[in-house]
Amino acid sequence: MLTLDSVAIRRGDKLLLTGVSFALRAGEAVHLKAANGVGKSSLLRAVAELLPVAAGSIAHQNAHGPAEAADQVALLDEQPGLKASESLRGNLTSLSILLSGRTPGAGELDAVADRLGLAPLFDSPVRYFSTGQRRRAVLARLLLSARTLWLLDEPYTGLDQAGRALLDTLIAEHRNAGGAVLMTHHGDVPDMSVIDLMGHVPQVAPDTGDDGERW
């Protein structure tokens, strides 16, 4: 589903990560671990093809062969991606059409809102949601986008106990259905292979002088 081959990530002038290689197959999940500022979020954005890699390659495959990131990736990051003045129903309808290209069926959105425990707020503008409710609403994107590869950047942030359990269930269901998950999180996550990115932080090169300098 996803293959990274000696990927290097750069932000501005700074090389954050080098030599990141791994593969992710259907049903698998990978938990990326590293300290703050190492470049986990940047790596996820690179997998989503929003950020060009500094070196190496990232390849997406679906059941039929090579695929576009924008056809199989669902990205959940710290930004909500919801319009505050629109109702949850309006937001989810637009998101569903934009991401999956499909108009959701009659009871489909209600079922998703119900699942996330947001049914009573379904017709209220997102502006009135609490932080936790907003984070739950964002999870709806994963369910409605119909994408196979979930990229989750600190997905537990802002969720209460029940919300975290819900997310675990969603992830398990997604994997059983043949999906894959790539996730960053500071704590431990059961049942995922862990990749420690600290081993990929480039060693500080000694000052080689001007003659070896190439930007």
Per-residue binder mask for another protein (CB under 8 A), 184-213, x = binder = -------------------xxx-x--xx-x
CB of 161 to another protein, least distance (A): 25
| CA 122-126-129 angle, 5° bins | 90
Strands (E), 25-77: 29-33, 55-62, 65-67, 73-76
> Residue 126 gets which letter from DSSP?
G
CB of 201 to another protein, least distance (A): 9
Reference 91, options 75, 106, 76, 104; nearest CA is 104
Radius of gyration of the chain (CA): 19
The answer to whether residue 19 forms part of the interface with another protein (CB under 8 A) is no
Structure tokens at 27: 């049903």
Reference 83, options 104, 98, 105, 102; nearest CA is 98
The count of chain residues that interact with another protein, using the rule CB under 8 A, is 44
CB of 42 to another protein, least distance (A): 9
The answer to whether residue 107 forms part of the interface with another protein (CB under 8 A) is no
Residues 39-78 that bind another protein (CB under 8 A): 45, 48, 50-52, 69-70, 73-75, 77-78
The answer to whether residue 14 forms part of the interface with another protein (CB under 8 A) is yes
Residues 111-170 that bind another protein (CB under 8 A): 141
Which of 23, 84, 111, 119 touches another protein (CB under 8 A)?
84
CB 166 within 8 A of CB 112: no
Stretch that binds another protein, among 20-28, 95-103, 171-179, 182-190 (CB under 8 A): 95-103
Closer of 100 and 124 to another protein (Cβ): 100
| CA 34-40-46 angle, 5° bins | 155
C-alpha 94/C-alpha 92 separation (Å) is 5
Give the footprint of another protein on this chain (CB under 8 A): 12-14, 35, 45, 48, 50-52, 69-70, 73-75, 77-86, 90, 93-95, 97-101, 103, 141, 203-205, 207, 210-211, 213-215
